[in-house]
Structure 1
Amino acid sequence: MGIDLGREAAPDATTLLKFRRVLQERHLTEAIFATINAHLAAKGLMLRQGTVVDATLIAAPSSTKNRTRSRDPEMHQTRKGNQWYFGMKAHIGVDADSGLVHTVVGTAANVSDVTQASQLLHGEERDVFADAGYQGVDKRKEVQGKDVKWHVAMRPGKRRALDTKSPMGAVLAELERIKASIRAKAEHPFHIVKNLFGYRKTRYRGLAKNTAQLMTLFALANVWLARKWMLNNDTRSASAA
């Protein structure tokens, strides 16, 4: 950005606000996300043959103590288990091999995961892995014609009912275990964004602003996930020179 914090003061809040608006209005966070991913792909870190789709809830302030005395109208509430949540969802498509995020979609919290599945594909994958919340995705109109094989987890009740002492039950249980190990790749970016970066609650009003920030956060999460490879690669390059 051309700012030397050793010689000049940090920009004030108004300057930062204007800069953030420029990023959002010109879709520059999407460009940052795409540029970082293109660099990582060029280095061979995204194999693109498999995708894991998943979503996580991000809370939004439910307080009405503001100028309009209302909650964010673009956020909604949803129930997960026996608990209600108010906010948005971050839907991601993750490279099944590297665990890097290649697609990000932001919606209100009440939007079903399965409705966003087709938007999380880049079009070059052959296999897609998803949890039980995506049951029936292969029958949806928007995914018809896509040449991919869906590997969706069994519903928990059905999996618990498997007779693992029988040959067929044992095979199905092992298959579910393997699918779960692949789906776990999608949990790593969520962990980085929520726990390492501390992004557990939306900071702005409106889906567009918060989705723009998610683009930046997941781009940085990809850099974090690839950091060891990049450091080792730089070390090898320096040694060769």
Structure 2
Amino acid sequence: MKVHSGIDAGSGYVYSITGTATNVHDIEEAGKLLRKDDKVAYGDSGYSGIEKRNDIKNDEQFSKIEFRINRRPSSIKVPDSYKGINWDKEIESRKSSTRCKVEHPFLIVKRQFGYAKVAYRGIAKNMNRFHILFASANLVMCARAGRSQEFCLA
């Protein structure tokens, strides 16, 4: 089982999750994770070509989203003799630094709540548990940020 998450780049809070079998590719769940008001979406190299998919291309809102997808590391070619700044690598590093916020809620779920290994009980039952775990992770991040309880629950 895999859990796919949609996370706000500004706050780092999880706003949507979906669960699939492990043989379902990440790009197939991307349309379910995007919000109508998203302007920019970040993803790893598994989301390459997302703007060409019919569910994204044919949707009026999703077709306007700017997708900033990391390239595969093997596609960044620079000769060893080059001594300057590798701008392609620098750009990919900037994308990764924004995209790393996706991993933080998973860290909280695994370390703080002890959910490091999935006990497979079916996708529906596991998703029930993941909704609670990620909502709790959002509350932990909110409390760490020093925000008031009203703001966290809104």
Same fold (TM over 0.5): yes
Distance apart, 1:93 and its partner CA: 0.5
1:162 aligns with 2:78: yes
Distance apart, 1:200 and its partner CA: 2.1
Q: 1:189 aligns with which of 98, 105, 117?
A: 105
Cα distance in 1, alignment partners of residues 71 and 79 from structure 2: 14
Distance apart, 1:178 and its partner CA: 0.5
* Counterpart residue type for residue 185 of structure 1: K
Cα distance in 2, alignment partners of residues 154 and 228 from structure 1: 33
Cα distance in 2, alignment partners of residues 163 and 187 from structure 1: 32
* Counterpart residue type for residue 9 of structure 2: A
SS in 2 for 1:198: coil
Q: Which runs of 5+ in 2 are unaligned?
A: 150-154
* Counterpart residue type for residue 33 of structure 2: L
Cross-structure match for 1:176: 92
Cross-structure match for 1:200: 116
Cross-structure match for 2:27: 114
> Residues 5-24 of structure 1 correspond to what in structure 2 (within 5 A)?
none
TM-score (norm 1): 0.56
Cross-structure match for 2:8: 95
1:138 aligns with 2:51: yes
Larger strand proportion of the pair: 1
Distance apart, 1:150 and its partner CA: 0.4
Q: Percent identity?
A: 38
User: Any runs of at least 4 consecutive aligned residues in structure 1 with deviations exceeding 3 A, and if so which?
Assistant: 162-167
TM-score (norm 2): 0.85
Q: How many residues align?
A: 144
Q: Which runs of 5+ in 1 are unaligned?
A: 1-87, 235-241
SS in 2 for 1:102: strand
